[in-house]
Amino acid sequence: MKLLVLNSGSSSVKYKLFEMNRGEVQAAGKLDRIGEPLSRLTHRSRLDEHAEAELITEQPIAEHHQALQLIVEMLRETRILSDPDSLDGIGHRVVHGGECFHEPVIITDKVITAISKTIPLATLHNPANLAGIRVALDFAPLVPQVAVFDTAFHQSIPAHAYHYAIPYALYEKLQVRRYGFHGISHQYVTREAARLLQLEENYINLVSIHLGNGASVTAVLRGRSVDTSMGMTPLEGLMMGTRCGDLDPSIPFYLEKWTDEDSEQVEALLNQDSGLKGVCGASDMREVERLAGEGNERAQLAIDMYCYRIRKYIGSYLAVLDQLDALVFTGGIGENSPNIRARCCRGLEHLGIVLDEDANRTLADHNREVQGATSGCKILVIRSDEELEIARQSRRLIARIDRKPGLA
């Protein structure tokens, strides 16, 4: 089964072409810096078992529709997908499914309309996701297409954890509640952790920590999400690259009153100019760590704030779980920064979380354990593969249907 996965983010698009029966990635790529003066597409295609070709192109890409058109052209020009009908399916990451979607769905006109209605809940992401869907439907209208939702894994969160302490009528009228995000990643690492630890997925208890430009923590009880740090939008929770995370709800009103900024400008400030960037001027953790190493006090403050908030969430989620099988680090920062992992675990020894400093600092490109001998739980570093998880969920759904046009 040949599946193309599109993961359209707020400023980038990632894609992978899978041959699922052989477990191969036949092509993969990323187009990033969308909306900047010069965007960059890096495309890799598999030549044989031991070699691959890489092509890089740079040009201005103003928005996602244009970005996805360029990716489609690259797939055609490299003869990876000269015939769209050779695809068995296309899987799409959709950030927000609201309360409409609890599992993957075949994309129809009705589904597109429902996703469009969730745009107010994810203004940075869902328009990009829809752009990917529409371009793919133009590219391959006869191929089944699947929407896989970042919020779906968190639909198991109980009501007492997803409700906010505001008038209940706002939930009934506007569906104001906690939804959670990074669910595709958290679900993938849950399955991988169960495999690594040789446990049944529906018995494993985890604290899953996804640290990238966006960041979130999820409490997994017997294989199901029971709480997560992001809320109605991806703004709540941990400190992130450009997002503030948890904040006194009165602060936006205060800023509107005492600055010249209106509500839209304050919203942009909290989403795009806060977090690491707001504290020290850099949003990339690699740059923040470099600055801190050079003695930059605000960069060090940003790291201290970042890790302190993660430790608080770890502690609170231990209270939610009846036991902890593993603490899992994933995402670009979680996978690649031993310094951040060490700081997040520091001071948690009394809770049975003990890191092996040498194992933690050993560079590796595979999933691994990094806990110390006296740790009461495993500490895992797992490389998230959201595209593979989307492909797996799409394959399972497509296998249950007859081949039909992409739109009903």
- Residues present in the chain in total: 408
List of long-range contacts for 384-387, beta carbons under 8 Å, 24+ apart:
384/185, 384/188, 384/189, 384/210, 384/330, 384/331, 384/335, 385/188, 386/7, 386/93, 386/184, 386/185, 386/188, 387/5, 387/7, 387/14, 387/15, 387/16, 387/18, 387/28
The dihedrals phi and psi of 392, each to the nearest 5 degrees, come to: -65, -45
Chain-centroid distance, C-alpha 25 = 20
Find out whether 89 and 394 touch, Cβ atoms under 8 Å: yes
Structure tokens at 224: 């199901």
Structure tokens at 149: 């939702």
Catalytic residue, from 48, 138, 150, 325: name it: 150
Work out the number of other CB atoms within 10 angstroms of the CB of residue 240. Answer: 27
Integer Cα distance of 89 and 23 in angstroms: 15
Integer Cα distance of 11 and 212 in angstroms: 14
Residue 32 catalytic?
Answer: no
Beta-bridge partner residues of 210? 216, 330
Active site residues: 150
